[in-house]
Amino acid sequence: MPGFVTDAILLRKIEYGDHDFIISFLSESKGKISVIAKNAKQSIKRFSGALDLFSVNHIQCTFPKKKKDGMTILSHADLENGFANIRYDVFKTAYASYWVEVMHFWLEENKQQSALYNLLFFSLDALNKESLSREVVSLFFQIRFMSLSGFFPNIENCDQCKTPVDHIKQKKVWFDFAEGRIICKDCINKRSKYGLIVSKGTLKQIHWINTSDISRADRIKFSNIAIKEGEMLVEAFIPFYIGRQFKSLQFLDRIRYEK
C-alpha cells in the first residue's frame, strides 16, 4: 500500500469514535498533515509511548485504498523525543502547548514548512534542556514564527514619518496591531485603536532576535521588564493577526497570574 515515512511533531489529537484519534502533525517532509490513527487507544504495539502532544515521532502513513478523498492512515509511530522535562513542569507544558496550537491553526495542509519545523523543534529542545529561560525561548519562537510566516511587523522606523527608532526622541512608541507597524508620538493621531505602547529598547531586542543566527540564541540578555513587555506585545499581536484566541495562551496567562 503506498504511503510515506517522516519525522513529525504532534500538534493536536482529538478522539474520534470509541477507539480512534484524528491527529495533526507538523512533519519534516510534508508540512502539516492530518491523519487518522485507527484503534490507537487499544494498539500498544503500533503506538506504545508515542502520540503525546508536542512529542517528536517517526511515523509511517498509508493512503486509503477505496476513498481517494479519505483520510491518510497512521500505520505506525515510534517515539523519537518526548521532551520529558517539559511534561514535568506546568509552565513549560503551557508554553509548548501554546506553540503547537499556533502552528496547528496557522499552517496550511500538505505544504512543506522545513524552517517552521526546525524552529519548533529547536524551541522545544531548548525548553526541555533549559539552555534558555522559558520566557526567552517563547519570545524567540514567536518572533521567528512571525518572520518565517511573513507577517513580521515594521519596527525599525515610524511608519508615518519614517524616522528610525534610534532617532525618535521619545522612549516609547505606539505599536499598531491593525497595520503591523510602529508610530512615533508626533504621528500618533493617525493610529488605529488596536495596539499598545512599547519601549524602544524592547523593539531593539525583538529586532535583534529576528535578525541574529539561531545558534546565538543563548547570548540573548533581557531585563525582566523587557521580557514582560516583549511577551505582552507578541502574545497580543499574534492572536490578533491570526484572528483567534488560543486556549493554551489563556491557560498560560492564568497560571502566571496565580504564581
Digitized pLDDT (tens) for each residue of the chain, 259 residues in all: 588 899 999 999 998 888 889 999 999 889 999 999 988 777 666 777 788 999 999 999 998 876 666 789 999 899 999 999 999 999 999 999 999 999 999 999 999 999 999 999 999 999 999 988 899 999 999 999 999 999 999 999 999 899 999 999 999 999 999 989 999 988 887 666 789 999 999 999 899 888 887 767 667 777 788 889 999 999 999 999 999 999 999 999 999 988 6
Q: Which are the contacts of 183, defined by CB distance < 8 A and separation ≥ 6?
A: 158, 159, 160, 173, 174, 176, 190, 191
Contact between 233 and 196 under an 8 Å Cβ cutoff? The reply is yes
Q: How far apart are CA 224 and CA 153, in angstroms?
A: 23
Please name each of the domains of the chain with its CATH number: 1-82 (2.40.50.140), 128-258 (1.20.1440)
Per-residue pLDDT, 92: 97
Q: Which three cell numbers stand for residue 183?
A: 508610530
Q: Quick: pLDDT tens for 76-103.
A: 899 999 999 999 999 999 999 999 999 9
Per-residue pLDDT, 154: 92
Q: Which are the contacts of 78, defined by CB distance < 8 A and separation ≥ 6?
A: 50, 57, 58, 59
Cite the beta strand spans of the chain per DSSP E.
Answer: 3-16, 20-27, 31-37, 56-62, 72-81, 154-158, 172-176, 181-183, 195-199
